[in-house]
Amino acid sequence: MDLIKQYVNKRKGSYFLSVILAIIGVVAGLFSYVYMAKIIVNILEGISDISIYKSLCLMILLLFVIKEIAAGISTSISHTATFNSLGEIRNDISKKLFKMPLGDVLSRSSGELKNIIIEQVDSMETSLAHLVPEFTANLVGPVLLFIYMFTLDWRLTLLSLIPFVVGMATMMSVMNAHYKEMFGKSVAIGQHMNNSIVEYINGIEVIKTFNQSESSYKKYADAVYNNASFYYNWMGESMNRVAIGRLLSPMGIITIIPFGILFYINGSIDLGNLITLIVLSFATVSSILKIMNYMDDMSRISTITSEIGKILDSRELENEEKGISEKDYSIKLENIEFSYEEDKKVIDDISFDINPNSVSALVGPSGSGKSTLAKLIAGFWNVDKGNIKIGGVDTRHMSLEKLSSLISFVSQDNFLFDMSIKENIRIGKKDASDEEIIEVCKKSACHDFIMNLSDGYDTKVGEGGGHLSGGERQRISIARAMLKDAPIIILDEATSYIDPENEALIQNALANLVAGKTLLIIAHRLKTVTDADKIFVINNGKLDAEGSHEELLKSSSLYKEMYESSLRGEENA
């Protein structure tokens, strides 16, 4: 609930006005029953003056008009404020994901994140748009009407509440700790179902290739069935008490009529007040019952906000802008240690220097920690121990935006968004002109294939760039990095998806990208980095050796073995 208060307080003026208008609407609707009761009493007393009935009917009509206008404006204001709040929550989650360590983001499945950002944030709409004004109004309105009823006869007013209290107690017995526990389970089961659906869709190609449709579909179907079965059983055990409570709550008439008749017979209440109290008992209870429609939201909101809060309260990268300018674009690692999991070091006490405007390479066996080092330098994670400095400035003393502006990261699986080629490239520089985009595309050897597409630069690439080949996606990624024009370039297996006939094009594109930059390459094919100024050999998270290609052939048995193995692999290819 604290999370809701945080966003409500930002727009408390709008919500306050919405609550006031909602109260006016509810009170107007409730007090129309007072005039209805007067019409009934006048009829029973035999009054035949039509003008009296006209004025009473006009008053009822006026109150209904006030009710509808006030409720309509209140709803409009609360929804506007709510959708702005939901948009802000989603923006805050997106910003938080940017500030979180990459590993913490990737540890959550895409189905889980989608469920939180879309479904769970959407489910807060009822609570914010309706709960705040309508719950308050439907509580204040009946209280005012009960005060009026007390002035007519306090005995019957209290008696009319007995069925309501019993009914409410029966319904509220459902909203206990068990309900909260079950709702928490429902969220987990729903997320599991979302994960299964996303996995089934994303893996459809593998499923078809290996003829695993039956087993894969069964996993997906079981998740959907378990979700439905859970809700069926949960609602089944809860609905009996809710149904009994809803039946009893509006039955104030079973106490007010017999005692009312008794009081009327002994002369302690007149007929007019008795009829008015009977009519108003229906009005007050029906209004309070509307509150029950929001009790379910109140019970589950803590679970929903807890899931959202887990993201918003997650640890962030320890980057704080100190306003210190880097003297150059050198990179220095000092006694770096890093673990994805506690007590399981991936990087163990590594130190080395990368000179500005130089070409350096990280090589080593698969799983040695090369890509992890590159991502640490790029600021995707904070190191556990040690320091990474760019131009003499600790990267943790730079804002994430500043650090991002210094580095272009081109990996083997750069992601393309489901929008036009032009807009995907413009991510590198949001204010780039079409001419600038075309120019970098020519330098990255992708202008010609783009012009052969149906819509040229306006061609949509599909989800993840699925409408393009691996080589085409890679060249667009290089164009995007080239447009960014960062002084430091990190290439993480950037040519791994390239077929031989396109490799020359990609290598020329990369040469244009890295000209005059500080370049760090992570590669398995050692032939591509033999001309590097310095090569760092990483093995089991440690720095095994460093030097030029020729130096390492003499000093590092691991490097020599890897290089010779790489040559044999290319000869056999």
pLDDT at 65 over 90: yes
Q: What is the CATH number of the domain that holds 421?
A: 3.40.50.300
pLDDT at 382 over 80: yes
Tell me: do 305 and 392 sit in the same domain: no
pLDDT at 513 over 80: no
Q: For residues 274-289, give the mean pLDDT.
A: 76
In-domain check, residue 326: no
Taking only the tens place, the pLDDT of each residue in 148-184 is: 888 888 888 888 888 877 777 776 666 666 666 676 7
How many Å apart are CA 74 and CA 277, to the nearest integer?
Answer: 29
C-beta separation of 152 from 129 below 8 A: no
In-domain check, residue 318: no
More confident residue, 81 or 292: 81
Which pLDDT score is estimated for 332? 93
More confident residue, 192 or 417: 417
Q: Which of 39-53, 56-70, 302-316, 397-411 has the lowest mean pLDDT?
A: 302-316
Taking only the tens place, the pLDDT of each residue in 336-368 is: 999 887 778 889 999 999 999 888 999 988 888
Which pLDDT score is estimated for 340? 81
Which pLDDT score is estimated for 209? 54
In-domain check, residue 358: yes
Exposure string of 148-161, with b = 16+ CB inside 10 Å and e = fewer, is ebeebbeebbebbb
Strands 518-522 vs 331-341: parallel, antiparallel or unpaired: unpaired
Q: For residues 397-412, give the mean pLDDT.
A: 86
In-domain check, residue 293: yes
How many Å apart are CA 72 and CA 88, to the nearest integer?
Answer: 24
pLDDT at 497 over 60: no
Taking only the tens place, the pLDDT of each residue in 248-270 is: 666 677 888 888 888 888 888 88
Tell me: do 308 and 336 sit in the same domain: no
Gyration radius (Cα) of the chain, Å: 35
The closest of 167, 296, 347, 342 to 241, measured between CA atoms, is: 167
Domain's final residue, options 255, 284, 312:
312
Tell me: do 373 and 225 sit in the same domain: no
In-domain check, residue 354: yes
Q: What is the CATH number of the domain that holds 254?
A: 1.20.1560.10
pLDDT at 299 over 70: no
Band (280; pLDDT cuts 50, 70, 90): confident
pLDDT at 536 over 90: yes
> What string of DSSP letters covers 78-91?
HHHHHHHHHHHHHH
* Strand arrangement of the beta sheet that strand 518-522 belongs to: 407-411, 488-492, 518-522, 359-363, 534-539, 542-547
Which pLDDT score is estimated for 353? 93
Tell me: do 232 and 151 sit in the same domain: yes
Which pLDDT score is estimated for 390? 93
Which pLDDT score is estimated for 66? 93
Tell me: do 303 and 360 sit in the same domain: no
Taking only the tens place, the pLDDT of each residue in 88-132 is: 888 888 888 888 887 778 767 777 777 778 877 887 777 777 777
pLDDT at 334 over 90: yes
The closest of 390, 388, 374, 378 to 493, measured between CA atoms, is: 374
Which pLDDT score is estimated for 145? 80
Q: Give me the chain's average pLDDT, please.
A: 81
In-domain check, residue 317: no
How many Å apart are CA 407 and CA 400, to the nearest integer?
Answer: 11
Domain's final residue, options 277, 312, 347:
312
Which pLDDT score is estimated for 494? 62
More confident residue, 220 or 477: 477
The closest of 99, 85, 84, 93 to 113, measured between CA atoms, is: 93
Q: For residues 62-76, give the mean pLDDT.
A: 91
pLDDT at 389 over 70: yes
Tell me: do 393 and 303 sit in the same domain: no
Tell me: do 261 and 387 sit in the same domain: no
Domain's final residue, options 312, 341, 364:
312
Helix axes 2-10, 12-44, angle to 10 degrees: 90
Q: For residues 80-94, give the mean pLDDT.
A: 87
Q: For residues 431-452, give the mean pLDDT.
A: 88
pLDDT at 10 over 70: yes
pLDDT at 61 over 90: yes
Which pLDDT score is estimated for 330? 92
Q: Which of 35-49, 320-334, 557-571 has the lowest mean pLDDT?
A: 557-571
How many Å apart are CA 382 and CA 310, to the nearest integer?
Answer: 20
Which pLDDT score is estimated for 26? 83
C-beta separation of 511 from 336 below 8 A: no
Structure token pair of residue 225: 């069935």
Tell me: do 154 and 220 sit in the same domain: yes
Number of structural domains (the chain) is 2
Which pLDDT score is estimated for 165? 78
Largest CA-CA distance found in the chain, in angstroms, rounded: 118
pLDDT at 69 over 90: yes
Tell me: do 272 and 176 sit in the same domain: yes
Taking only the tens place, the pLDDT of each residue in 453-493 is: 889 999 998 877 778 887 788 888 888 888 888 899 888 87
In-domain check, residue 321: no
In-domain check, residue 359: yes
Which pLDDT score is estimated for 535? 92
Residues spanned by the domain of 95: 2-312
pLDDT at 289 over 80: no
How many Å apart are CA 31 and CA 164, to the nearest integer?
Answer: 20
Tell me: do 82 and 17 sit in the same domain: yes
pLDDT at 505 over 70: no
Which pLDDT score is estimated for 283? 73
The closest of 226, 229, 248 to 237, measured between CA atoms, is: 229
Tell me: do 259 and 300 sit in the same domain: yes
Which pLDDT score is estimated for 568? 73
Indicate yes or no: pTM above 0.75. no
Q: Which helix (H) or strand (E) holds 538?
A: strand 534-539
Taking only the tens place, the pLDDT of each residue in 15-31 is: 889 889 988 988 888 88
How many Å apart are CA 253 and CA 279, to the nearest integer?
Answer: 9
C-beta separation of 282 from 288 below 8 A: no
Tell me: do 335 and 299 sit in the same domain: no
